[in-house]
C-alpha cells in the first residue's frame, strides 16, 4: 500500500503518529510551505522564518533517515499555495492508496481534512495527536456533567493519571498548587541569566531572506534571530532552562522588568508547540530537577502545571467548544483594536514595553500577555475577533488551539466564565507591584483620576461599573463591589468622565 503522509509545520516530531508504520520503500512524506498558511493571518516575520527553517531542518533529518520526502518551498515555481493544492499536485504525479495525517491544531484545518476523502477519492486516515497527554475524547469525558470546568481540578486528575509529583495518592509536599509562593515582585539587583541562543545557519539565513522578500509588510522584527530550529538545539534550550532558570522560575514567574523580556521563563513554548520538544519529556525533566534538588518544589510544580495542567486544559476546551467558541462575546465588546498594539506608540510605558518586546522577539511572557496587554484589551472593551487575531499574529508559539481559549476565556471573559471564574482585571497598582514599568511612565500610578492619572486606575473601576449587572453577584468579586458600594457619586462620576475622555482620544487615534 502506497501512502502519502502529510506533516504540518507544527508536527515536527519523529514520533508523530502520521509517521508510525511509515515504509521508506513505498511511502512519500509531504511537507510544504504554503502561502495560505503563512497569510491567513499576517504572522510575525520571525514566526514564519522560525517555522520554515524548522520544517526544512526536519525534512533534512527525515531524508538522512532514509525516508522519501517531497518538500515544497514557498518560492518553488509550481507551489500550489495551499495544503489542498499541494496534495492534489502530489496525487496527480503518483498513485497513492491513502493519505495519512495527524490531527491538526486548528478547527478550520480539520474541517478541510475531513473533506479530502470525498474530494480526492482517496482514503484519509486522520490519526490522534498522541504528543498530548490528554485526548479531546478524554477531556470531553472529564467535562461531562460538570457545572464548572475548572483547570485546577483537571490538573489534579492529570497529576494522578500520569503519576507526576505524587506520593501514592497524595501530592508531593502535601499541596497540589504552590501559586502563593510564585507571585513575588522583582527584587532590586536581581540577576537574570542570558537567554539560550543559536546563531542562524545557512538554512535559517535563507528563510530569513525569503521572509524579508515575501512578507515585508508583516508585523515584527526579523533580526536578530537566535531561536533553535532543530530538536538537538531545542533540547539544549531545555537544558539551559533546567540548569540556569528553573530554580527561580516559580518565585518570579509573574515579575516584569523593563529591558528584561526573558526573566526566568523557559522560552520553550516555541519548541513544544511545533513538535521539537515533547511535553512528557519536559515534565519528567522538571520532576527530576526537584528530586535531584536542582530546583525547589514551588518552581517545579508551577512549571509542570503550565504544561500538564494549563496547556492540556486549553486544548481540551478548544476542541470541546469549537466552532461556537470562536464567536463568543459575552460582554458585547466592540471597540476596534487600537494602532498602539502594532506601533507601541503610547504614553503608557507598560503597554509600550510589552508591544515593543513582542515586536522584537515574537514573544512575551504570560503575565505581560495577560495582565498588561490583555488587561487593557479587557478594560477597553476591545472586539474579541480583533484581539484573537492580534495574539495569533504576533507570537511564535501561537496556534489557534492554545491562543483562543487563553484570549477569549482567560483575557477577555468572552466565554462568560466557562474558563475563568472571574475576569482578570487589574488597576495600575498591580502592574506597579509586579514590575518597574511605572517608574518610567508619563502617567502617575498613584493618581486615581485626572489627565495625568494612570489610565488603568479609572478604566478598572469603569469596567466594573459598566458590567455591574454581570459581575455584582460573583462571589470572587465581592470585595470589588463592596468598595464600589462605598464609593460616593462624585468619585464614580470622575471615573466615568476620565474613561469617556480616554476612550474618545483612543478612538480618534490620539496618542494616549
Distance of alpha carbon 269 from alpha carbon 177, whole angstroms: 21
How many H-runs (helices) and E-runs (strands) does the chain carry? 25, 7
Give per-residue pLDDT as tens, 351-363. 999 999 999 999 9
Quote the pTM value: 0.96
The pLDDT of residue 267 is 94
Distance of alpha carbon 149 from alpha carbon 504, whole angstroms: 38
323 class by beta-carbon count within 10 Å (0-12 exposed, 13-18 middle, 19+ buried)? exposed
For residue 126, give the nearest of 141, 111, 138 by alpha carbon: 111
For domain 136-193+245-321, the CATH class is: mainly alpha
The pLDDT of residue 120 is 96
pLDDT of 180 over the 90 cut: no
Q: Which residue has the cell 497598582?
A: 429
The pLDDT of residue 216 is 95
pLDDT of 147 over the 90 cut: no
Distance of alpha carbon 160 from alpha carbon 155, whole angstroms: 9
Split at pLDDT 50, 70, 90, the class of 450 is very high
Mean pLDDT of the chain: 96
Q: What are phi and psi of 166, to 5 degrees?
A: -120, 145
DSSP label of 446: T
> Terminus-to-terminus CA distance in the chain, angstroms?
63
Residue spans of the domains in the chain: they are 3-127, 136-193+245-321, 340-507
Split at pLDDT 50, 70, 90, the class of 179 is confident
Bridge partners of 5, per DSSP, are 29, 100
Q: What is the CATH number of domain 3-127?
A: 3.40.50.620
pLDDT of 182 over the 90 cut: no
Distance of alpha carbon 196 from alpha carbon 179, whole angstroms: 26
Distance of alpha carbon 445 from alpha carbon 428, whole angstroms: 6
Write the DSSP string, 32-60. E--HHHHHTTT--HHHHHHHHHHHHHHHH
Exposure string (b/e) for 138-172, b if CB count within 10 Å is 16 or more? Answer: bbeebeeeeeebebeebbeebbeebebbeeeeebb
Q: Which residue has the cell 491567513?
A: 40
Mean pLDDT of 37-62: 97
For residue 84, give the nearest of 108, 63, 68, 62 by alpha carbon: 108
Question: Of 1.10.3720.10, 3.40.50.150, 3.40.50.1220, 1.10.579.10, which CATH number belongs to 340-507?
Answer: 1.10.579.10
The pLDDT of residue 40 is 94
Three-state helix/strand/coil letters over 176-233: CCCHHHCCCCCCCCCCCCCCCCCCCCHHHHHHHHHHHHHCCCCCCCCCCCCCCCCHHH
Cell matching residue 254: 509573574
Distance of alpha carbon 398 from alpha carbon 409, whole angstroms: 15
pLDDT of 1 over the 90 cut: no
CB atoms within 10 A of CB 451: 10
Amino acid at each position: 500500500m502506497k501512502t502519502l503522509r502529510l506533516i504540518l509545520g507544527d508536527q515536527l516530531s519523529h514520533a508523530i503518529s502520521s509517521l508510525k508504520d511509515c515504509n521508506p520503500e513505498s511511502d512519500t512524506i509531504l511537507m510544504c510551505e504554503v502561502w495560505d498558511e503563512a497569510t491567513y493571518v499576517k504572522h510575525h516575520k520571525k514566526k514564519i522564518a522560525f517555522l520554515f527553517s524548522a520544517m526544512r531542518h526536519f525534512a533534512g533529518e527525515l531524508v538522512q533517515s532514509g525516508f522519501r520526502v517531497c518538500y515544497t518551498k514557498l518560492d518553488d515555481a509550481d507551489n500550489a499555495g495551499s495544503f489542498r493544492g499541494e496534495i492534489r499536485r502530489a496525487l496527480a504525479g503518483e498513485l497513492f492508496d491513502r493519505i495519512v495525517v495527524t490531527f491538526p491544531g486548528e478547527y478550520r484545518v480539520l474541517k478541510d481534512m475531513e473533506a479530502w476523502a470525498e474530494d480526492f477519492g482517496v482514503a484519509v486516515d486522520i490519526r490522534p495527536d498522541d504528543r498530548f497527554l490528554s485526548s479531546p475524547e478524554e477531556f470531553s469525558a472529564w467535562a461531562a456533567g460538570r457545572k464548572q470546568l475548572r483547570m485546577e481540578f483537571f490538573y489534579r486528575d492529570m497529576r494522578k493519571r500520569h503519576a507526576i509529583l505524587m506520593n501514592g495518592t497524595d501530592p508531593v509536599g502535601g499541596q497540589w498548587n504552590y501559586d502563593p509562593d510564585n507571585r513575588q515582585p522583582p527584587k532590586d539587583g536581581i540577576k537574570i541569566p542570558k537567554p539560550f541562543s543559536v546563531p542562524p545557519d545557512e538554512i535559517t539565513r535563507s528563510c530569513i531572506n525569503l521572509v524579508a522578500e515575501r512578507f515585508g509588510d508583516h508585523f515584527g522584527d526579523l533580526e536578530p534571530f537566535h531561536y533553535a530550529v532543530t530538536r538537538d538545539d531545542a533540547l539544549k534550550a531545555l537544558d539551559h532552562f533546567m540548569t540556569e532558570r528553573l530554580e527561580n522560575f516559580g518565585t518570579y514567574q509573574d515579575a516584569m522588568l523593563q529591558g528584561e523580556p526573558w526573566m526566568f521563563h523557559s522560552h520553550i513554548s516555541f519548541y513544544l508547540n511545533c513538535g521539537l520538544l515533547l511535553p512528557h519529556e519536559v515534565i519528567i525533566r522538571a520532576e527530576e530537577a526537584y528530586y535531584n534538588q536542582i530546583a525547589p518544589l514551588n518552581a517545579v510544580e508551577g512549571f509542570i502545571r503550565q504544561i500538564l495542567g494549563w496547556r492540556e486544559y486549553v486544548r481540551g476546551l478548544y476542541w470541546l467548544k469549537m466552532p461556537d467558541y470562536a464567536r463568543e462575546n459575552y460582554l458585547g465588546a466592540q471597540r476596534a483594536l487600537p494602532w498602539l498594539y502594532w506601533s507601541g506608540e503610547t504614553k503608557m510605558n507598560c503597554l509600550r514595553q510589552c508591544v515593543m518586546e513582542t515586536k522584537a522577539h515574537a514573544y512575551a511572557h504570560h503575565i505581560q500577555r495577560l495582565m498588561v496587554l490583555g488587561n487593557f484589551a479587557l478594560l477597553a472593551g476591545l472586539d474579541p475577533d480583533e484581539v484573537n487575531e492580534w495574539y495569533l499574529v504576533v507570537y511564535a508559539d501561537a496556534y489557534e488551539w492554545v491562543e483562543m481559549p487563553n484570549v477569549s476565556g482567560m483575557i477577555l471573559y468572552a466565554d462568560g466564565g466557562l474558563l475563568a471564574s472571574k475576569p482578570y482585571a487589574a488597576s495600575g497598582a498591580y502592574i506597579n507591584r509586579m514590575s518597574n514599568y511605572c517608574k518610567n511612565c508619563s502617567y502617575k500610578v498613584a493618581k486615581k483620576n485626572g489627565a495625568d492619572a494612570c489610565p488603568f486606575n479609572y478604566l478598572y473601576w469603569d469596567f466594573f461599573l459598566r458590567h455591574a449587572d454581570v459581575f455584582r453577584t460573583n462571589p470572587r468579586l465581592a470585595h470589588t463591589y463592596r468598595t464600589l458600594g462605598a464609593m460616593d457619586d462624585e468619585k464614580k462620576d470622575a471615573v466615568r468622565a476620565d474613561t469617556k475622555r480616554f476612550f474618545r482620544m483612543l478612538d480618534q487615534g490620539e496618542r494616549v
